[in-house]
Amino acid sequence: MYACGLRVGEAATLPVNGIDAANQLVKVIGKGNKERVVPLPQPLIGSLREVWRTHRNPLWLFPNSHNTGPLDRTTLCRTFWEVAQRANIKGATSHSLRHSYATRLFEEKVQPRVVQILLGHSHIGTTSRYQHLTEPTKASLRAVLDKLMKGL
């Protein structure tokens, strides 16, 4: 979910044929049955192959425990919550991964319109919620302001 900025439901229902390892892309079916294509980071490809080899389901990358359909999103949310609790991370939800993905893109100066497309948002206002002042952004802003105001 973090590596591609996926919603919980999108990750849970990823079809095997939605992964294009050769071109490093993932085809995602999002809200409103809208399709989008997002970059698949190279380091993730091997891990996804290993996951698939554990079950070899022909349709779903993450099948349910009976191997009859996709993983239930509630199961994914609960698992994330349990792992966060064990790691003593307070207030984190599975959606926090999507939020972190968007925040990191903004920190790396990716244009808001590109982030909007990657997240599958219809409106830029929805994407702008992810723009906030993080510590690296604040430090960068301070350096720019110091440079601009030098000599005043």
pLDDT tens profile 80-95: 999 999 999 999 999 9
pTM: 0.84
Contact 62, 14 (CB under 8 A): yes
Of the pLDDT bands very low, low, confident and very high (cuts 50, 70, 90), residue 133 is low
Of the pLDDT bands very low, low, confident and very high (cuts 50, 70, 90), residue 64 is very high
The whole-chain average pLDDT of the chain stands at 92
Is pLDDT at 120 greater than 90 in this prediction?
Answer: yes
Angle at 41 between CA 35 and CA 46, to 5 degrees: 110
- C-alpha–C-alpha distance, residues 61 and 34, integer Å: 19
pLDDT tens, 65-78? Answer: 999 999 999 999 99
pLDDT tens, 38-48? Answer: 999 999 999 99
> Stretch 28-41: mean pLDDT, rounded?
94
Sketch the domain layout of the chain as residue ranges: 8-148
Instruction: Name the residues annotated as catalytic.
Output: 7, 31, 95, 98, 121, 130
- C-alpha–C-alpha distance, residues 144 and 84, integer Å: 36
Biggest CA-to-CA distance, the chain = 69
pLDDT given at position 143: 82
**Orientation angle between helical segments 112-119 and 94-107, nearest 10 degrees:** 150
> Does residue 60 sit in helix, strand or coil?
strand
pLDDT given at position 107: 86
- C-alpha–C-alpha distance, residues 70 and 95, integer Å: 19
Of the pLDDT bands very low, low, confident and very high (cuts 50, 70, 90), residue 128 is confident
Q: Which CATH number does the domain 8-148 belong to among 1.10.3210.10, 1.10.443.10, 3.30.300.170, 2.60.120.1440?
A: 1.10.443.10
Q: Which of 81, 114, 105, 106 is nearest to 95 (CA)?
A: 81
The single-letter DSSP state of residue 71 is: P
Of the pLDDT bands very low, low, confident and very high (cuts 50, 70, 90), residue 109 is confident
> Does residue 34 sit in helix, strand or coil?
coil
Burial of 142 (0-12, 13-18, 19+ CB in 10 A): exposed
